[in-house]
Amino acid sequence: MTGLLATLIGLAIAGGLFAALIVARKRQCGFAQAIALLKLRSLFDLHLPDRKEPSTHSRRPVVHLYSRQSGLDAAVLWAALDRNCLHVLHEDDQRSLLLFGLRLFARTAHAGDHSAIEAALAEGRSVTLGFPQNAEPTPETLTAYKHAAGLARKHGAVLQALHVRGSSLSPWSVWSRLEAPRHLLPRLRLAQTALLDLDDPQPPQNGATDPRDEDRVHDLLAEARLASNDLDRSLFLAFRDATDRYGKAGPVLEDALGGKLSYKKLMIGARVLGARFVKMSEPGEAMGVMLPNANAAIVTFLALQSAGRVAAMLNYTAGPAAIVSALSTARIRTVLASRAFVEKAGLEAPVAAIEKAGITIVWLEDMREDISWQEKTSAFLRWRSPLREVDAGDPAVILFTSGSEGTPKGVVLSHRNIHANAAQAEARIDISVRDKLFNVLPVFHCFGLTGGAILPLLYGVRLFLYPSPLHYRIIPAVAREVKPSIMFGTDTFLAGYARTAKDTDFASLRLIVAGAEAVRAETRRIYRERFGASIVEGFGMTETAPVAAVNSGSHNKDGTVGRLLPAMALRLEPVEGINDAGRLFVSGPNVMLGYMLASNPGVLQPLADGWHDSGDIVAVDEDGYIAIRGRAKRFAKIAGEMISLGAIELMVQQLWPEDFHAAVAVADRRKGERIVLVTTRMPALREELRDYSRRFGATELMIPNEIVNVPQLPLLGSGKTDYVTAQKIADEWISTHRADKAER
């Protein structure tokens, strides 16, 4: 028996050595490296990037850069990189028993041994340099980035960034246990960027014309961090991965009703509902979701992903006409809703309009009461498996925005679009399981869905959902109890909360991410001085899932919306009459699949070349910071809501068909913008317009704040309305009336 055991052990060792020989030959690495690689693959399920064809830079030394997440990182890089590479070790790695084999067989140096690093590069050998683990570098780290770039320039080397996803969860993690839970054998995924030559005359795709070396290194590391995510997985599988990583941390999802869900309970609930959705719909079918910010909305969303259905998030504040139009545009047959929510929010009119259109409403309360114990047991046992496999490139979500004619357009986002955008944000802003995000933005808005729900849950951040951003007096008190560290909002909402908040209400906040409208300096000052929280401003649109650019703690410039996210590109097209800015076009993994239009319901209109016309006029400075000059499309943003000026004109034209009308937007101190109607109607009574808007199905925000009477509407030579002149008329009228009020 002993002889047989010895024989089996010998065969296993021989088999392992033979496998190592094959790996060494295939990867052209050392034998010791091959053995290390086999161990890492067997213990940590290590995934390596695909080997690429040699580039024009292949004979030049490479400065490999990485954000050190744990002691495992050095072992992974040694096993994966060139055998002659010099590995510059952190002082902790120099003493680590884990890396004894690396120190024994590899070429190593300590971080302070500059002569060894210089000598290796001078000899044409590559080196690895580790940096602190954070996505947002400190000034000291930026200096280190600049030094690394200087080494590459001096020795004619190229740069490459790498990132080991999952090593932060290992027992050798550099993060505290409060920031990263521990797993004995976490799955590891190594990502690498393309080689970067700092002397390459081609400017980077983020629009910067003369970026600093430290910024180029920072961007390269962010690209590697993004690439370490598996974006080829569906949203359901991405949530399952998050459950595996962070599921032991306790409740992760909470709402104002007092409900608390762990990852596993969230997944089980999604499996239960998803099985019902499978029975009432076809694969790939879009199902409407009309729910508030509450746990049920997230469970329902994930259930649709498990079932292989598309979640069409309905803006229940848009009015009956817009809702029914959206349902028609996406050919939605079923809407998932809550009786309690409809009664509390007063949505009887939209519900009646939906039912009148022949669309079925499924009440989740009724469904929940009807679930059998067999269904619950099956979901408990099979929660890890999606009910239907889908590709990452398949549609996952439809969100609706108004077109220039006032009819809602469906923005179709894939699983990859949304997952990529969450990963892009995580590559730029530091978040961890220590954080708690307070989300008041509705999930029918892309900012509220991706940033306020999916992003935190994919990366272990605890999430608290509040049903309405309009409760200015209640939200500060809730924040005092919840104690969030991160909050999303718009300038209008944030200013409203500050007016009613006590100084201690937002004391727990460390970061506020603001979008949808420009943030005023006064709002920044109040939150900085009263609450000790910084506001970083970003920019996006539903079509980019939604974030396209963002400021951060390390890269922040007032008057801008930040720098483009990793893996995105931009181009500016000239606009007549504007010399210092251009029309912004963007591309990237987060850019939508395309639109659904009312003129061709249910049919995806894909982007022709992968570039999306944002309709915004922007300027980009030499470092890549984007400043918004204005919007080319005729929309007004009021309290973060996009209001179609064309839709307002259509409504007014139906009320007063014999007259001519132009709706324009002017600046408003409180809400960002306000609407002025320039009309030939005499008299044009706002009360009459308000009464008609209710029958039309318009929202309160679509009712013009001011009405200006003119004898004749200004026209262009083509016969179209001259909106430039109409804007001047509105601006002059507002300015005159403000002056009159001031004199009184």
pLDDT, tens digit, 9 for 90 and up, residues 332-360: 999 999 999 999 888 999 999 999 999 99
Tell me: pLDDT of 716 over 80: no
pLDDT, tens digit, 9 for 90 and up, residues 183-215: 999 999 999 999 999 887 666 667 777 788 899
Pick the more confident residue, 100 or 286.
286
Which residue carries 């060494």 as its tokens?
24
Tell me: pLDDT of 663 over 60: yes
Tell me: pLDDT of 744 over 50: no
The whole-model pTM stands at: 0.83
pLDDT, tens digit, 9 for 90 and up, residues 18-43: 565 565 556 666 667 777 788 888 88
Q: Which of 321, 208, 270, 224 is nearest to 563 (CA)?
A: 208
Where are the domain boundaries for CATH 3.40.50.12780 in the chain? 235-534+590-611
Least-confidence region, from 60-74, 269-283, 409-423, 605-619: 605-619
Residues 6 or more apart in contact with residue 499 via CB below 8 angstroms: 472
16-227 maps to CATH 2.40.160: no
Tell me: pLDDT of 441 over 60: yes
Where are the domain boundaries for CATH 3.30.300.30 in the chain? 639-743
Task: For residue 434, give the DSSP letter.
Answer: T
CATH code of the domain occupying 639-743: 3.30.300.30
Distance of CA 414 to CAs 214, 308, 427, 527, Å?
Answer: 34, 12, 20, 36
Tell me: pLDDT of 244 over 60: yes
Where are the domain boundaries for CATH 3.40.1130 in the chain? 16-227
Q: How many CA atoms lie within 13 A of 43 on its CB side?
A: 14
Q: Which of 524, 438, 421, 446 is nearest to 476 (CA)?
A: 438
Burial 425-438 (b: 16+ CB within 10 A, else e): bbbbbbbbbbbbbb
The counts of H helices and E strands in the chain are 25, 32
Starting at the earlier edge strand, list the strands of the sheet with 334-337: 360-363, 334-337, 286-290, 310-313, 395-402, 408-414, 594-596, 604-606
Average pLDDT over residues 547-569: 90
Amino acid at 451: G
Question: pLDDT grade, residue 632 (50/70/90)?
Answer: low
Q: Compute the distance between CA of residue 338 and CA of residue 480 in angstroms, rounded to an integer.
A: 29
Tell me: pLDDT of 118 over 50: yes
Question: What is the second-level CATH architecture of the domain 235-534+590-611?
Answer: 3-Layer(aba) Sandwich (3.40)
Starting at the earlier edge strand, list the strands of the sheet with 436-439: 260-261, 253-255, 462-465, 436-439, 486-489, 511-514, 534-540, 547-550, 563-564
CB atoms within 10 A of CB 39: 16
Tell me: pLDDT of 89 over 90: no
